[in-house]
Each structure stands twice: as C-alpha cells, then as structure tokens.
Amino acid sequence: MKYYYYESSIDTQYVEKLIEFLNTNTWPITIYFASGGWCNSGWQTLLNVLNSEKERITLIAIGKLMSTAFDIFFSFEWNKRIEYSVLGMYHQSTVDISINVKWNPVFQSDKAFKLWVASYLDHAKEICRISGMNKSEIQKWNKWDDVYFINTRMKEMLDYNLRIKNIWHH
C-alpha cells in the first residue's frame, strides 16, 4: 500500500504530480484528499484518472471538500470515506466575463463562456442528486448560495452516494 497526500487547489501542477505518482506505483494507493476546489480542466482530468485507476485507489476526504473537490469526491466511483472534521461546500459554477452597458457579453469568448456555464448546469444538478443533497440544500444552491455541510452531514451524504452507486467502502 502506498499513500498520497493531496491538499491544494485543483490545478494542472497537482494533477500532473498525482498522475506521475500513479504511473510509477502499481500497487494499491490511498489518497488523502482535501481542497478548496478550483475550476479549470484539471478537475476533469483528475476525476478521469481516479476513475480509470479506481480498483486500486481508496479516496479519503480530509479537511475540506469544496466546489470542484466536492464534485470529484462524489463522482469518484469506488472505495472512499470521510474522516473526522471534514467540511464540505458546493455551489453553482461561475465564470468572469466582460459585459457592456446593455448587460451583453462583449467578446466572442465571453459569449462562449456564458453558454458553457449554462451547459454545465445539468452536470451540477446531477452532483446535487448523487451527493444526496436534500430539498432545502438544493433550494439554497438554486439561489446561488454556497451550501456548507458539516462532517456528520457529509457522512450521511456519502452513505447515500455509495448506496445509489452500489459502491463499497470500509
């Protein structure tokens, strides 16, 4: 058994380090995972790598699981658990764009980002569902609020997530 400690923003540098670690170690790996999140292509790469190696990975949440880290944890399809004092947070994705006085995007890239954020909404709603967010939590999330989850609630959500995905954990 090998161990990997990941407590950082989810960015390209840290994703590359994890990929290198996985590529050079063929035995079972426990990853201690905490992050305040970040939104770039790194999170999707990280999730794809974790799920492609899932049979040999145990993902253990520590500290905080916020934003994309929350997304990754509940989307990971194998052995996972939550340690003591984990704080979770999920919110709707945002992107900075330039707008004119008529509230329209200024640049073509701004128009594309506006469409991208709207297209991400279906995925985000699925994360709300598979994490077991309750009605009041989803209502708060729908108002663009950050929704926080204390450790006991996170463990309830994990139990729900494991049941609906038929995943085991220890």
The answer as to whether 105 is a domain residue is no
The answer as to whether 141 is a domain residue is yes
How far, in Å, CA of 147 to CA of 131, rounded? 13
Tens of pLDDT, residue by residue over 32-42, are: 999 988 766 67
The gap from C-alpha 60 to its chain's centroid, in whole angstroms, comes to: 13
The answer as to whether 112 is a domain residue is no
Average pLDDT of 125-141?
Answer: 95
Average pLDDT of 3-27?
Answer: 86
pLDDT of residue 46: 87
The CATH number covering residue 142 comes to 3.90.226.10
What residues are paired with 57 via a beta bridge? 29
The answer as to whether 119 is a domain residue is no
The answer as to whether 22 is a domain residue is yes
The answer as to whether 60 is a domain residue is yes
Binned at pLDDT 50, 70 and 90, residue 106 comes out as confident
pLDDT of residue 111: 83
Residue 155's domain spans which residues?
Answer: 2-93+131-165
Average pLDDT of 80-92?
Answer: 93
Tens of pLDDT, residue by residue over 90-105, are: 998 777 778 889 888 8
The answer as to whether 56 is a domain residue is yes
Predicted model pTM? 0.86
pLDDT of residue 170: 46
Beta-strand runs (E) in 25-155: 29-35, 57-66, 79-82, 87-90, 147-149
pLDDT of residue 140: 96
**∠ Cα 13 18 20 (to 5°):** 95
Q: Which one has a higher pLDDT value, 95 or 136?
A: 136
Residue 146, token pair as written in the block: 């950050």
Structural domain count of the chain: 1
> In this predicted structure, which of 14-18, 32-36, 47-51, 163-167 has the lowest mean pLDDT?
163-167
In terms of residues, how long is the chain?
170
The answer as to whether 135 is a domain residue is yes
Q: Which one has a higher pLDDT value, 169 or 122?
A: 122
Binned at pLDDT 50, 70 and 90, residue 120 comes out as confident
